[in-house]
């Protein structure tokens, strides 16, 4: 354990170290450090993309992982706190964009697709939970892990479809299912919270409180999203035809995110609904550039670097069977749900395989973004640590490799990328 | 390879083929989902046929052999309804129209198939630029000689069909000023335009042999003529029409052709001659460029008249044949469309309301898919 004096000496030494050394970089201004990291991330991503056709976001995340606590320790977790609003904004921008891409009416036009979405979420969640309970996890922690694991990262799939410029049935279903299962995950966490109430000292009172809270969050997020969509519709004519349109969209995304956080609502739900409302209201008048324009693209790079910085490999040697079980249960659940209803919902076998694989990137961030707001972690004081740690490791693994699976699926199984 | 013999078929029977656009419901650009739609429609209940076309954003549908307007229309409506249900299941739209208003030809993907890959390799970028959508109408003939006679006699009426069906004013995001810009894409192909003037099947066979000996063509499919004989079906095939925005218009156009064919066959108002083609490309251009407001020159009398007036006079002449063929509803729809304007005008009207082109495509999609 270093003493205070030793630590002070180390900091002083680091501060005086040249910038090109590791110590120098660790002591550098965080803004400068992040800017340098972005530069490295861009170069590494480009190199990986040109050499092995690996999605660029893998390069961005890898840069973050190398610079983060796992390897070079240029950034420690706590240092990311000041950047959280920017990260939230990057996610918010992508969720809003995803919302504008989704046509909920499709779920009514194709009931088998709706069934497929529900079955995929249910099977993934249930299989992950069942497998974890079988390995010895307590059911409640396993249920939380299953609920988090059922969702696919909307941010990753949107980034990969943008980069590969894919178009087609699998791409459309991928985006829709990623949005739907993220929403189901959020609602699932709220339901778990209500179920937890039955274990409280005064169950009836706690149950009522939890139910009201869940209703407030879901309906409040929905209303906030609708209001945001209406606001964009009303304000757009003022800036139509000017380069300010993406700025207006970003401003509204920030406002919606901040209000959702302020009112402890779900930013995920609010922004998805905002995007859907804006599309429904404005129809062809709504132009949404990828990442909401070039400013959004910068935030996007920053987001994936930060995702890399958050990676953790702690306990991998001990927990790898648990991690493997989570990953395989998700894959099995998705493949079963998509495969069983493939033909009925109008999908070919190759496409079903492609969609199952493309749905593999896991989503911790979108769910945790909501989860932090819900504060469910505080309601799990006795959470089974290995389970949570295994979930984190599985998420890390499927975030860093997920874009590759999605890209492979869209390119080689679905043949929907532009290179095809 | 020699020209195959002409399979006899019942005179004046009809077959309609429509090439249709598949569009995304998100941005209304072309969507490469032909294989998906074909799979969904694999077990359709109609006697009609659905096939892939050269790029993945197109399909072609073909009716069964028909004789009367009402039955043809009913089949086309059934086809439209089943196609629309399939499209909704896949979250795509289906639209008529001769061109997509703003698709980028370079983004199109060739449908996986031997014939389509052959065309793609032979014609290069022209194959992708051939992402245009037409209506083909087959008319049955008893033998090759009569088929060729009818083919050349019909050349005088080709501008009628171009102007009436014109629905391709926008190409690559701009208003071309043409009512039918689609035919300009077809004209880029070396074996497009008019068929050689032969009135006998044997003579046509000798022409075909000479062409195959040059290695330029292998089959009749390699000719992209405005009207071409189809010996395996026992028909002549009119290929100048843009795909209309509704199946009702498609059925009416087919029956208008049927009426003219009956009029020509029974009354023989003139004998076709090579000199008829002196004004052919001029008349064709006028119809493409100005639609129903264009002017045409009568190849026999050399009189110059408005296309709209010429169609009105023709409708009057063929009305008794329409009555006999039970196609008066079709004639009336054609007559009404002369005053209401063709589909190109309808598309321009959508645009003039200040809407973006994606909204124009959406409106066309809603019009084609109807309530089905």
Distance CA(B41)–CA(B85), nearest Å, equals: 9
What does the pLDDT read at residue A370? 46
What does the pLDDT read at residue A368? 59
- Residues of chain B with Cβ-Cβ distance to A284 below 8 Å are 355-356, 358-359, 362
- For residue B304, the Cα-to-chain-centroid distance in whole angstroms is 26
- Residues of chain A with Cβ-Cβ distance to B40 below 8 Å are 346
Tell which wins on pLDDT, B134 or A13: B134
Nearby residues of A232 by Cβ (< 8 Å), 6 or more positions away: A248, A249, A252, A274, A278, A281, A282, A286
What does the pLDDT read at residue A241? 77
* B61, B134 Cβ separation under 8 angstroms: no
Tell which wins on pLDDT, A252 or B111: A252
Structural domain boundaries enclosing A87: 38-413
Is the pLDDT assigned to residue A21 strictly greater than 50? Answer: yes
Nearby residues of B71 by Cβ (< 8 Å), 6 or more positions away: none
Q: Name the band, by pLDDT with cuts 50, 70 and 90, for residue A1.
A: very low
- Residues of chain A with Cβ-Cβ distance to B88 below 8 Å are 109-110
Residues of chain A in Cβ contact (below 8 Å) with chain B: 101, 103, 106, 109-110, 113, 167-169, 172, 283-285, 345-348, 351, 416, 418, 420
- Rounded to the nearest angstrom, the minimum Cα separation between A112 and chain B is 9
Choose the closest CB to B91 out of A172, A284, A416: A172
Handedness of CA B65, B66, B71, B77 (dihedral sign): positive
Question: Is A284's CB within 8 Å of B355's CB?
Answer: yes
Q: What would the pLDDT profile of A281-326 be if each residue is shown by its tens digit? A: 999 988 888 877 877 788 889 889 888 887 878 888 999 999 999 9
Q: Is residue A15 part of a domain?
A: no
Distance CA(A409)–CA(A360), nearest Å, equals: 10
Q: Is residue A356 part of a domain?
A: yes
What does the pLDDT read at residue B372? 43
Question: In the structure encoding, which two tokens stand for residue A2, read together?
Answer: 């270093």
Q: In chain A, which residue's Cα lies nearest the Cα of B110?
A: A420
Q: What would the pLDDT profile of A198-249 be if each residue is shown by its tens digit? A: 666 677 787 888 888 889 989 999 999 999 999 999 999 998 878 888 889 9
- Rounded to the nearest angstrom, the minimum Cα separation between A201 and chain B is 50
Residues 94-133 of B with CB under 8 A from A: 107, 109
- For residue A10, the Cα-to-chain-centroid distance in whole angstroms is 37
Flag whether residue B24 sits within 8 Å of chain A, measured between CB atoms. Answer: yes
Q: In chain B, which residue's Cα lies nearest the Cα of A350?
A: B36
Of the candidates B1, B46, B3, the one whose C-alpha atom is nearest the C-alpha of residue B228 is: B3
Question: Is A348's CB within 8 Å of B32's CB?
Answer: no
Question: Is A284's CB within 8 Å of B362's CB?
Answer: yes
Distance CA(B272)–CA(B281), nearest Å, equals: 16
Q: Is residue A13 part of a domain?
A: no
Is the pLDDT assigned to residue A126 strictly greater than 70? Answer: yes
Interface A-B, measured as beta-carbon pairs within 8 A, has a size of 50
Q: Is residue A8 part of a domain?
A: no
Number of domains in chain A: 1
Is the pLDDT assigned to residue A82 strictly greater than 50? Answer: yes
Q: In chain A, which residue's Cα lies nearest the Cα of B56?
A: A168
Query: What's the mean per-residue pLDDT of chain A?
Result: 86
- Residues of chain B with Cβ-Cβ distance to A345 below 8 Å are 89
Q: What percent of chain B has pLDDT over 90?
A: 82
Average of pLDDT values for A53-73? 88
Distance CA(B72)–CA(B14), nearest Å, equals: 8
Question: In the structure encoding, which two tokens stand for residue B345, read together?
Answer: 């005008």
- Rounded to the nearest angstrom, the minimum Cα separation between A349 and chain B is 11
Q: Name the band, by pLDDT with cuts 50, 70 and 90, for residue A419.
A: low
Q: Name the band, by pLDDT with cuts 50, 70 and 90, for residue B223.
A: very high
Q: Say how many Å lie between the first and final Cα of chain B, rounded.
A: 45
Average of pLDDT values for B101-109? 85
Question: Is B91's CB within 8 Å of A110's CB?
Answer: yes
Is the pLDDT assigned to residue B348 strictly greater than 70? Answer: yes
- Rounded to the nearest angstrom, the minimum Cα separation between A148 and chain B is 28
Least confident of A36-45, A380-389, A400-409, B200-209: A380-389
Q: Which residues pair with B93 in a beta bridge?
A: B23
Predicted complex: ipTM over 0.95? no
Q: Name the band, by pLDDT with cuts 50, 70 and 90, for residue B264.
A: very high
Q: Name the band, by pLDDT with cuts 50, 70 and 90, for residue B129.
A: confident
- Rounded to the nearest angstrom, the minimum Cα separation between A189 and chain B is 30
Q: Is residue A25 part of a domain?
A: no
What does the pLDDT read at residue A389? 87
Q: What would the pLDDT profile of B27-40 be if each residue is shown by its tens digit? A: 999 999 999 999 99
Q: Name the band, by pLDDT with cuts 50, 70 and 90, for residue A420.
A: very low
Q: What percent of chain A has pLDDT over 70?
A: 85
Flag whether residue B331 sits within 8 Å of chain A, measured between CB atoms. Answer: no
What does the pLDDT read at residue B353? 78
Least confident of A117-121, A142-146, A328-332, B58-62: A142-146
Is the pLDDT assigned to residue A2 strictly greater than 50? Answer: no
Q: In chain B, which residue's Cα lies nearest the Cα of A102?
A: B26
What does the pLDDT read at residue A373? 46
Q: Is residue A4 part of a domain?
A: no
Choose the closest CB to B40 out of A106, A284, A346: A346
Q: Name the band, by pLDDT with cuts 50, 70 and 90, for residue A374.
A: very low
Query: What's the mean per-residue pLDDT of chain B?
Result: 93
Is the pLDDT assigned to residue A372 strictly greater than 80? Answer: no
Reported as half-sphere exposure (CB side, CA atoms, 13 A), residue A53 has a value of: 9
Q: Is residue A28 part of a domain?
A: no
What does the pLDDT read at residue A278? 96
Least confident of A56-65, B2-11, B363-372: B363-372
Q: What would the pLDDT profile of B152-197 be if each residue is shown by its tens digit? A: 999 999 999 999 999 999 999 999 999 999 999 888 888 899 999 9
Q: Is residue A140 part of a domain?
A: yes
Flag whether residue B366 sits within 8 Å of chain A, measured between CB atoms. Answer: no
CATH of residue A138's domain is 1.20.1530.20
Is the pLDDT assigned to residue A195 strictly greater than 70? Answer: yes
Q: What would the pLDDT profile of B237-259 be if each residue is shown by its tens digit? A: 999 999 999 999 999 999 999 99
């Amino acid at each position: 354990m270093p003493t205070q004096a030793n630590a002070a000496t180390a900091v002083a030494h680091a501060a005086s170290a040249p910038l090109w050394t590791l110590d120098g970089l660790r002591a550098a201004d965080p803004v400068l450090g992040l800017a340098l990291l972005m530069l490295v991330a861009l170069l590494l991503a480009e190199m990986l993309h040109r050499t092995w056709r690996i999605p660029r976001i893998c390069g961005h995340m890898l840069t973050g992982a190398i610079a983060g606590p796992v390897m070079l320790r240029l950034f420690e977790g706590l240092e990311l706190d000041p950047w959280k609003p920017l990260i939230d904004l990057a996610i918010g921008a992508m969720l809003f964009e995803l919302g504008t891409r989704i046509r909920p009416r499709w779920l009514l036009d194709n009931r088998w697709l709706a069934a497929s979405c529900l079955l995929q979420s249910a099977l993934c969640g249930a299989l992950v939970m069942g497998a974890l309970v079988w390995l010895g996890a307590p059911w409640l922690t396993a249920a939380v892990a299953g609920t988090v694991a059922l969702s696919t990262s909307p941010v990753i799939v949107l980034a990969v479809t943008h980069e590969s410029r894919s178009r087609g049935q699998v791409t459309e279903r991928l985006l829709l299912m990623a949005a739907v299962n993220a929403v189901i995950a959020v609602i699932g966490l709220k339901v778990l919270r209500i179920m937890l109430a039955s274990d409280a000292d005064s169950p009836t009172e706690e149950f009522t409180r939890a139910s009201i809270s869940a209703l407030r969050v879901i309906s409040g997020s929905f209303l906030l999203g609708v209001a945001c969509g209406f606001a964009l519709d009303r304000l757009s004519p003022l800036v139509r035809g000017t380069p300010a349109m993406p700025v207006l969209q970003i401003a509204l995304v920030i406002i919606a995110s901040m209000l959702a956080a302020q009112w402890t609502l779900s930013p995920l739900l609010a922004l998805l609904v905002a995007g859907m409302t804006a599309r429904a209201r404005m129809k062809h008048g709504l132009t949404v550039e990828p990442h909401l324009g070039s400013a959004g693209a910068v935030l996007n790079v920053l987001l994936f670097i930060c995702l890399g910085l958050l990676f953790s490999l702690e306990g991998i040697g001990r927990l790898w069977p648990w991690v493997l079980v989570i990953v395989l249960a998700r894959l099995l659940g998705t493949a079963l749900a998509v495969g069983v209803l493939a033909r009925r919902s109008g999908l070919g076998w190759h496409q079903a395989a492609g969609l199952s694989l493309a749905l593999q990137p896991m989503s911790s961030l979108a769910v945790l973004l909501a989860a932090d707001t819900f504060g469910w972690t505080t309601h799990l004081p006795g959470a089974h640590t290995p389970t949570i740690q295994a979930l984190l490791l599985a998420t890390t693994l499927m975030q860093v490799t997920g874009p590759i699976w999605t890209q492979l699926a869209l390119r080689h199984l679905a043949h929907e990328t532009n290179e095809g | 390879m020699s020209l195959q013999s002409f399979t006899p078929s019942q005179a004046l029977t009809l077959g309609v083929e429509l090439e249709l656009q598949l569009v995304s419901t998100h941005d209304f650009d072309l969507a490469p989902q032909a294989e998906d739609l074909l799979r969904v429609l694999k077990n359709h209940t109609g006697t009609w046929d659905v096939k892939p076309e050269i790029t993945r954003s197109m399909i072609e549908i073909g009716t069964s052999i028909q004789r009367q307007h009402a039955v043809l229309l009913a089949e086309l409506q059934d086809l439209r309804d089943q196609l629309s249900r399939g499209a909704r299941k896949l979250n795509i739209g289906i639209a008529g129209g001769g061109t997509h208003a703003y698709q980028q030809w370079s983004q199109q993907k060739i449908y996986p198939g031997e014939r389509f890959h052959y065309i793609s390799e032979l014609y290069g970028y022209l194959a992708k630029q051939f992402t245009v959508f037409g209506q083909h109408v087959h008319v049955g003939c008893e033998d090759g000689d009569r088929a060729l006679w009818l083919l050349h006699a019909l050349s005088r009426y080709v501008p009628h069909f171009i102007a009436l069906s014109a629905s391709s004013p926008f190409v690559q995001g701009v208003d071309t000023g043409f009512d039918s810009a689609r035919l300009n894409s077809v004209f880029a192909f070396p074996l497009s335009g008019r068929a050689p003037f032969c009135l006998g099947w044997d003579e046509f066979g000798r022409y075909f042999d000479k062409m195959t000996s040059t290695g330029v063509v292998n089959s009749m499919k390699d000719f992209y003529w405005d009207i071409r004989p189809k010996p395996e079906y026992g028909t002549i095939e009119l290929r100048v029409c843009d795909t209309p925005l509704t199946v009702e218009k498609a059925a009416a156009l087919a029956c208008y052709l049927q009426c003219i064919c009956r009029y020509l066959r029974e009354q023989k108002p003139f004998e076709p001659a090579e000199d008829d083609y002196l004004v052919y490309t001029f008349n064709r251009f006028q119809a493409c460029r100005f639609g129903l407001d264009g002017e045409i020159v009568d190849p026999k009398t050399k009189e110059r008249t408005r296309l709209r007036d010429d169609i009105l006079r023709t409708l009057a002449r063929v009305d008794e044949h329409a009555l006999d063929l039970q196609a008066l509803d079709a004639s009336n729809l054609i007559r009404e469309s002369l005053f209401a304007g063709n589909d190109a005008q309808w598309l321009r009207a959508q645009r003039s309301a200040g809407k973006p082109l994606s909204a124009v495509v959406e409106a066309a999609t809603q019009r084609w898919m109807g309530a089905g």
